[in-house]
């Protein structure tokens, strides 16, 4: 009778967990997160019945996860009271909980987890020691002071930048292909065991010239390939380290690595499927050339001259459209412009034509749009500044990835990173009038002694206008 009673008790506990009502430590597949955000959005990957108890006293969400079909879930709360959200499911293989203001995340009981995206939160600690199946970990832009990945031997992608981490041991992560540990506090890094590595970003650390040279010595000299057979160009970015100007990059270059950030020079080489080389070494140009480029682009778009505008798009990098078809930004990467084409979520390409009375190009701070009065703070005209503050790769990987509706190919990621790492991107806004009736927001980049149109922003200034 005692055994029967124990069996019934166990069954009751399992059923309670399946409905999000239990918290038994012995049950696998339970994850918890703590936040005080008014709205929480998550994306789940996996199979089987999964329950989300949002911690607000209301009924939990119950869903049946289907393989290769990411499930988007969200809950809006009435206040900012801290609450713990409990996710229960025996085969949850992916969790995206980025941008949710999380202060705590416990995934220790989900051993099936293969992909975890928890970037842009307020986490000060993260334990992934029991997630032995983990292949991708994105925990950048938190408040982590330490990260132990010694048990994650299947790990292939690690983004842990923009934290307060002082030491990083990746000696057991022999499958690692991509490591982004930029903007943390490393004084040394050893990647001698990472023989599959093809991309290493360690910019913005505390690496002296001696430490960088020691790091270069640990880089492998293997040839690495994409899954479809083409060779991968190996790259390392060391920008903004104390030793960036005094180290010896030839140690890495002699092993087939391209070194970016040495003495302020960008990576400058991007190999796409065509294996073409793009030189982004900073070059001199005059104001007359940038003025001509801006006016040529404006006129080509106004006249819908596809031949003219596509001559201004780099043949390998293509052009990036920033869109907002719904509540979040999206990134659309295309090879050329067709005025009959529609970005996803749009009906036709929004008008890119601006009728200007004044074609004077002003090198000054850009006009700002006041969403309350729906007016720009500067008169009609053309303005540009020598910087672009939006990081395309972050948007693509954190916002689009957050929604779980797109997977970027390695080549597309490289193209976006190439743009983000380029130092000569110029943001241009052309206004027809001070109201919002017509304006053009785009970016031009100086590549190989020539100006190219690289970004067009059609997302609007106050949500989807």
Q: Which of 151-165, 390-404, 432-446 has the highest mean pLDDT?
A: 151-165
- Residue 267 scores a pLDDT above 70: no
Q: Tell me the pLDDT band of 435, cut-offs 50, 70 and 90.
A: low
Residue spans per domain, the chain:
287-457
Q: Which of the 8 DSSP states describes residue 264?
A: G
Cβ(330)–Cβ(399) below 8 Å = yes
Give residue 238's pLDDT band: very low, low, confident or very high (50, 70, 90): very high
Task: Give tens-digit pLDDT for 322-362.
Answer: 887 666 677 888 888 888 887 776 766 777 877 777 778 88
Whether residue 80 contacts residue 102, with contact meaning beta carbons closer than 8 Å, is answered with no
More confident residue, 183 or 399: 183
Confidence of residue 415 (pLDDT cuts 50, 70, 90): confident
pLDDT of residue 406: 56
- pLDDT higher than threshold 70 for residue 269: no
Report the pLDDT value the prediction gives residue 287, as an integer from 0 to 100.
53
Per-residue pLDDT reduced to its tens digit, 308-320:
898 888 877 889 9
Nearest-Å Rg of the Cα atoms of the chain is 25
Say if CB 305 and CB 312 are below 8 A apart: no
Residue 345 Rama label (left phi>0; alpha psi -120 to 50; beta): left
Mean pLDDT score across all residues of the chain: 82
Q: Which of 91-100, 203-212, 397-406 has the lowest mean pLDDT?
A: 397-406
What distances in angstroms separate CA 439 from CA 236, 357, 414, one per listed residue?
39, 13, 30
Residue 13's φ and ψ, nearest 5 degrees, are -65, -45
Query: What letter does residue 395 receive in the DSSP assignment?
Result: I
What pLDDT score does 66 carry?
94
User: What is the band of 205 on the pLDDT scale with cuts at 50, 70, 90?
Assistant: very high
The highest-confidence range among 7-16, 377-386, 414-423, by mean pLDDT, is 377-386
> Which long-range contacts does 308-314 make (Cβ < 8 Å, 24+ apart)?
309/337, 309/453, 310/336, 310/337, 312/451, 312/452, 312/453, 313/337, 313/452, 313/453, 313/454, 314/278, 314/445, 314/447, 314/452, 314/454
pLDDT at 187: 97
Share of the chain above pLDDT 70, in %: 81
Dihedrals φ, ψ of 190, to 5°?
A: -125, 120
Q: Does the pLDDT at position 54 exceed 50?
A: yes
pLDDT at 284 exceeding the cut of 80: no
Whether 29 shows a pLDDT value over 70: the answer reads: yes
pTM of the model: 0.59
Provide mean pLDDT across the span 29-41.
94
What is the structure's pLDDT at 409?
Answer: 73
Q: Quick check: 199 and 176 in contact, CB under 8 A?
A: no
Which of these ranges, 42-51, 88-97, 183-192, 327-336, has the smallest mean pLDDT?
A: 327-336
pLDDT tens by residue, 184-202: 999 999 999 999 999 999 9
Asked whether residue 76 carries a pLDDT value surpassing 90, the answer given is: yes
Maximum average pLDDT range among 247-261, 410-424, 445-459: 247-261
Burial of 28 (0-12, 13-18, 19+ CB in 10 A): middle
Q: Cβ–Cβ contacts within 10 Å for residue 291, how many? A: 17
Residue 1 has pLDDT above 60, yes or no: no
Residue-level pLDDT at 27: 64
* pLDDT value at 275 more than 50: no
Specify the pLDDT at position 244. Answer: 92
pLDDT number for residue 17: 37
**Residue pLDDT, tens place only, 101-159:** 999 999 999 999 999 999 889 999 999 999 999 999 999 889 999 999 999 999 999 99
Compare 171 and 457 and report the one with higher pLDDT.
171
């Amino acid at each position: 009778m005692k055994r029967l009673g124990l069996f019934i008790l166990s069954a009751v506990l399992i059923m309670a967990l399946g409905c999000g009502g239990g918290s038994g430590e012995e049950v696998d597949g339970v994850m918890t997160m703590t936040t005080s955000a008014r709205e929480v959005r998550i994306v789940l990957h996996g199979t089987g019945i999964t329950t989300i108890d949002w911690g607000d006293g209301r009924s939990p969400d119950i869903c049946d996860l289907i393989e290769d079909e990411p499930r988007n879930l969200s809950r809006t709360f009435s206040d900012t009271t801290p609450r713990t959200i409990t996710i229960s499911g025996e085969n949850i293989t992916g969790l995206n909980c980025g941008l949710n203001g999380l202060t705590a995340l416990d995934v220790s009981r989900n051993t099936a987890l293969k992909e975890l995206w928890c970037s842009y939160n307020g986490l000060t600690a993260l334990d992934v020691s029991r997630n032995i199946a983990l292949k991708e970990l994105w925990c950048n832009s938190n408040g982590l002071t330490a990260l132990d990945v010694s048990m994650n031997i299947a790990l292939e992608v690690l983004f842990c930048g923009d934290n307060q981490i002082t030491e990083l041991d990746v000696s057991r992560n022999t499958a690692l292909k991509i490591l982004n540990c930029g903007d943390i506090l490393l004084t040394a890094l050893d990647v001698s065991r990472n023989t599959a590595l093809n991309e290493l970003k360690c910019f913005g650390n505390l690496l002296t010239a001696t430490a960088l040279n020691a790091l270069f010595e640990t880089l492998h000299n293997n040839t690495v390939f994409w899954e479809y057979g083409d060779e991968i160009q190996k790259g390392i970015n060391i920008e903004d380290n104390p030793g960036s100007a005094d180290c010896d990059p030839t140690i890495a270059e002699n092993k087939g690595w391209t070194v970016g950030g040495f003495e302020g020079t960008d990576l400058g080489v991007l190999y796409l499927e065509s294996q073409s080389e793009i030189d982004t070494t900073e070059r001199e140009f005059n104001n007359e050339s940038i003025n001509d480029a801006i006016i040529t682009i404006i006129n080509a778009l106004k006249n819908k001259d596809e031949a003219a505008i596509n001559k201004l798009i780099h043949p390998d990098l293509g052009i990036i459209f920033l869109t907002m078809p719904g509540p979040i930004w999206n990134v659309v990467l295309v090879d050329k412009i067709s005025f009959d084409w529609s970005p996803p979520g749009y009906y036709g390409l929004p008008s890119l034509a601006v009728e200007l009375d004044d074609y004077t190009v002003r090198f000054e701070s850009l006009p700002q749009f006041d969403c309350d009065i729906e007016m720009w703070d500067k008169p009609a005209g053309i303005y540009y500044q020598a910087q672009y503050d939006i990081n395309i790769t972050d948007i693509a990987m954190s916002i689009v990835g957050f929604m779980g509706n797109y997977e970027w190919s390695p080549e597309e990621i490289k193209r976006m990173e190439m743009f983000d790492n380029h130092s000569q991107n110029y943001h241009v806004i052309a206004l027809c009038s001070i109201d919002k009736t017509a304006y053009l927001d785009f970016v031009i980049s100086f590549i190989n002694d020539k100006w190219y149109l690289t970004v067009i922003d059609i997302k609007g200034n106050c949500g989807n206008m």
